[in-house]
Structure 1
Amino acid sequence: MKALIFSAGKGERMRPLTLHTPKPLLVAGGKPLIAWHLEKLAAAGIREVVVNTSWLGDQFAPALGDGARWGLRLHLIDEGAVPLETGGGILNALPLLGDAPFLVVNGDVWTDLAFSTLPDAPAGDAHVVLVDNPAQHPRGDFILRGDGQVSDEGDAARLTYAGIGVYRPQILDAWRAVIGDTVGAQAQPPQFGLAPLLRHAMAQGRVSGQHHGGQWTDVGTPARLAQLDAQLQARHG
């Protein structure tokens, strides 16, 4: 399995730290956020990782090299001055990701989840990781049903999408019909989010999921980065 790490965002909520450093290269626990992912991906047996970049994208190659230090082969994709968003980022990366299911992880989250717990292939179009709702997102995103299916319909308690999942390329097959005639969809390359495609697949019963009850942090603000750094420093010395 190959993996894609979303690393193209501007990190506007993280300013002023991201004025000079892209968010996935900010340091927590003595290493860049993205390095924690690369270690876990390598430990799960993944050998090829695509990293999409935009904001301050020229910093990734000097920081990460070719991935050999983790036993990985890295492919950096520069999306240009305007990030393609999550759905557009996957679409743009498909030539490198290939036809098999691939793992996707947001570059600005930290978790103790072992990626080896994810399935090699989802039963449907996607298999996503859900976590308990953090304070900044109390409503959550999706419902994890007892049969393992994930839904966006109903009044049951919701969990938060962790920014981690295994996807089949086919989830993008009908992206134009799902996204509609938006300005981003007309851009070249197209710019659009993944969430509408996920909800479309959920409505067809084609998204499964798992709940991760361990540590997970959306490192979205300087305060949350500082808190994570202190936790990791205390744990790892």
Structure 2
Amino acid sequence: MKAMILAAGFGTRLFPLTIDRTKPAIPFLGKPLVGYVAEYIARFGFKEIVVNLHHQPDSVIRALGDGSAFGVHIEYSLEEPEILGTAGALDNARHLLGDEAFLIVNGKIISDIDITAAVETHRRSNAIATMVLKPNIKRERFTVVETAEGYVTAFGGMAEPLTEVEIRDTDQLPRSPLMFTGIHILEPRVFDYIPKGQFSDIVSNIYRPALADGEKIAAHITDGNWYELSTIPRYLDISLAMMVDQSVFTGKGCSISSESSVRDSVIWDDVTIEAGSALYRTIVADGVVIRKGEHFENSAIVRADMVRNCDEIPEKSLKGYFQGENFIVPFG
């Protein structure tokens, strides 16, 4: 069974960390995020992998190469001139995926979910696809997936936070809604639902019509660890949660003064932090210099020249400001 990693997105909510690379290519604790995904699925025997590309494709190719560093063999599927969406991406890569069931994994997740168990669920289900679902205990803003007797029945709206009454009445807490992990197994007949040569989405253009046609979509529900790195605060929180016996991660070629204060932060490569400066809960991107006396917290920092020279600042990105040689993005 082949696998496909979706890596074509723009990463607008991670801007400016994605100013010179796409989201799956950003570094995460010393290796590209998409490299973690490749290693993750390789542990379950998936060695032949397709990776789709669109936005800043060279950044993904530089991060992954031929895949040998991550124990896999990679073929690339380029989407141009326009991005094709999650369903259109499959059709564009159909010639690479073959004629058997295949695995799809989002290129922006960190997880230890047992994919072998999900594949076994799929093989027993006689379904067109199997979605790997997880209880949304924190009621984060993910689409609610409704299920019954082991199968998906519908897709709802976004999960809503618990009300104050529900929080107080702990004996009557409602069941956590289920959310999609971005991991699924699909049969080749899903291609029958994909409109050719245009932007299309797996849920809207494959799963909803398939359910309407009486097809089965199996639900594999897991409580495995799963993290999605789609925003700057998520990126920092998950990085800190996964650090072992340390509160600061430092990349290659950095110079950090012993007379500076750096706590709960992620430092990328070739960063200089001078004496008398202080960082708390801060992400510092490649090549940034933190000058003496500068103090930052709850911020992402990139070089100002990168922002000044970029074509446009994405509308969905957090607002930032210029300070000297740097561009600072505060976050709550």
Aligned counterpart, 1:144:
147
Q: Does 1:66 pair with 2:79?
A: no
Give the counterpart letter for 1:192 in structure 2.
Answer: S
> Conserved in 1, the CA contact under 8 Å of 2:6 and 2:105?
yes
Deviation of the 1:171 alpha carbon? 1.3
CA distance in 2, matches of 1:77, 1:174: 20
CA distance in 1, matches of 2:24, 2:69: 18
Higher strand share: 2
Aligned counterpart, 2:194:
175
The C-alpha deviation readout for 1:66-120, integer Å capped at 9, x for no partner, is: 1112331100111124211001001111110011000001111221213222216
Q: 1:22/1:42 Cα in 2 relative to 1: closer, same or farther (>3 Å)?
A: same
Q: 1:66/1:149 Cα in 2 relative to 1: closer, same or farther (>3 Å)?
A: same
Deviation of the 1:136 alpha carbon? 3.3
| SS of match in other structure, 2:87 | helix
> Conserved in 1, the CA contact under 8 Å of 2:50 and 2:97?
yes
5+ long unaligned stretches in structure 1: 177-184
Give the counterpart letter for 1:220 in structure 2.
Answer: S
Aligned counterpart, 1:225:
235
The C-alpha deviation readout for 1:2-44, integer Å capped at 9, x for no partner, is: 0010000101111111111211111223322211111121111
Q: 1:81/1:206 Cα in 2 relative to 1: closer, same or farther (>3 Å)?
A: same
CA distance in 1, matches of 2:180, 2:68: 30
5+ long unaligned stretches in structure 2: 157-174, 250-332
CA distance in 2, matches of 1:78, 1:90: 11
> Conserved in 2, the CA contact under 8 Å of 1:55 and 1:81?
no
Aligned counterpart, 1:180:
none
| SS of match in other structure, 2:244 | helix
Q: Does 1:200 pair with 2:203?
A: no
| SS of match in other structure, 1:83 | coil
CA distance in 2, matches of 1:235, 1:89: 40
| SS of match in other structure, 1:142 | strand
Aligned counterpart, 1:40:
40
The normalised TM-score by structure 2 is 0.62
CA distance in 2, matches of 1:59, 1:16: 15
Aligned counterpart, 2:244:
234
Greater shift after overlay, 48-57 or 81-90? 81-90
Q: 1:77/1:235 Cα in 2 relative to 1: closer, same or farther (>3 Å)?
A: farther
CA distance in 2, matches of 1:84, 1:150: 25
> Conserved in 1, the CA contact under 8 Å of 2:128 and 2:215?
no
> Conserved in 2, the CA contact under 8 Å of 1:143 and 1:157?
no
> Conserved in 1, the CA contact under 8 Å of 2:135 and 2:176?
no
> Conserved in 2, the CA contact under 8 Å of 1:144 and 1:158?
no
Q: 1:27/1:3 Cα in 2 relative to 1: closer, same or farther (>3 Å)?
A: same
Aligned counterpart, 2:53:
53
CA distance in 1, matches of 2:66, 2:194: 32
Q: Does 1:15 pair with 2:45?
A: no
| SS of match in other structure, 1:20 | coil
CA distance in 2, matches of 1:153, 1:29: 34
Alignment of 1:115-194 (within 5 A): 115-119=115-119, 121-122=122-123, 123-133=126-136, 134-137=138-141, 140-145=143-148, 147-152=149-154, 158-176=177-195, 189-194=197-202
> Conserved in 2, the CA contact under 8 Å of 1:7 and 1:52?
yes
Deviation of the 1:124 alpha carbon? 1.2
Aligned counterpart, 1:179:
none
Give the counterpart letter for 2:233 in structure 1.
Answer: A
Q: 1:9/1:69 Cα in 2 relative to 1: closer, same or farther (>3 Å)?
A: same
Deviation of the 1:144 alpha carbon? 2.5
Deviation of the 1:135 alpha carbon? 4.2
> How many correspondences in the alignment?
224
Bigger Rg, which one: 2
Give the percent of matched residue pairs that are identical in Structure 1 and Structure 2: 30
Q: Which runs of 4+ in 1 moved over 4 A?
A: none
CA distance in 1, matches of 2:86, 2:66: 23
| SS of match in other structure, 2:201 | coil
